[in-house]
Amino acid sequence: MDRLINHIFSTLFPLTISLKTEKILKNFALLLGILSALAIIFDWYPLAMFFSFPFCLIWIYMAWLHTEPQLKWVNLIFLLIYLFGIVGYLSKIYL
């Protein structure tokens, strides 16, 4: 399973990025994390899911980049949970 997921991410995203790009991605992830926390505090449903999904995606990518397997899998689980919630929310709106 790990091999398949690694293959998918290595196909979709570059294996190396500049330090400047990495810093930008991490700062963007921080902003998304703050916005997600604010969305939870102020009950701005479903914004927390929409902010958390790309947050998790960025951190999965950062974990793949630096081979942090535990962080990678924790964020992958949360990414799937948020994806399930987003699909459920959108299906209620459009169906």
pLDDT at 61: 81
Question: E strand or H helix at 74, and its extent?
Answer: helix 69-94
Instruction: Decide if pLDDT at 65 tops 70.
Output: no
Q: Return d(Cα 41, Cα 35) in angstroms, integer.
A: 10
Mean pLDDT for the chain? 87
* Sequence-ordered list of residues with C-beta below 8 angstroms from that of 42, at least 6 positions apart, any chain: none
Give the pLDDT score at 62: 80
Q: Please report which confidence band the pLDDT of residue 42 belongs to, taking 50, 70 and 90 as the band edges.
A: very high
Average confidence (pLDDT) over 84-91: 94
pLDDT at 69 over 80: no
Give the pLDDT mean for 65-87: 85
Over 70: is that where the pLDDT of 17 sits?
A: yes
Find out whether 56 and 79 touch, Cβ atoms under 8 Å: yes
